[in-house]
């Protein structure tokens, strides 16, 4: 579990660093973070033998305190976000 949380925390901090680097003269801060570990429950029936639960849903809440007239912070499909130097698509492809 600690390994999972460490990696998730690293990924979220990477996102914050990328967002902060792209935000010119804007105040960007972490407003909160939630981590919900994936759990395997004995009362559930699975189609195949379940793997150990090593993942977690991580939500990072950012606060962008832009000054009046300042440019808004935009994170969308065009934003270049890297995790460990890889794009999200690269990470998904490597897990296949």
* 53 confidence band (pLDDT: 50, 70, 90): low
* 8 confidence band (pLDDT: 50, 70, 90): low
The model's pTM is 0.46
Residue pair 34/59 in contact by the 8 Å Cβ criterion = yes
User: In the structure, how many helices (H) and strands (E) does the chain have?
Assistant: 2, 2
How much of the chain, in percent, has pLDDT values that exceed 90?
0
């Amino acid at each position: 579990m600690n390994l999972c949380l460490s990696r998730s925390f690293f990924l979220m901090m990477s996102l914050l660093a990328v967002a902060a680097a792209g935000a010119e003269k804007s105040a960007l801060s972490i407003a909160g973070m939630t981590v919900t570990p994936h759990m395997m429950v004995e009362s559930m029936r699975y189609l195949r033998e379940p793997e150990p639960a090593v993942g977690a849903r991580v939500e990072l809440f950012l606060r962008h305190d832009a000054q009046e007239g300042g440019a808004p912070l935009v994170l969308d499909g065009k934003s270049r976000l890297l995790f460990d130097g890889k794009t999200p698509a690269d990470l998904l492809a490597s897990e296949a």
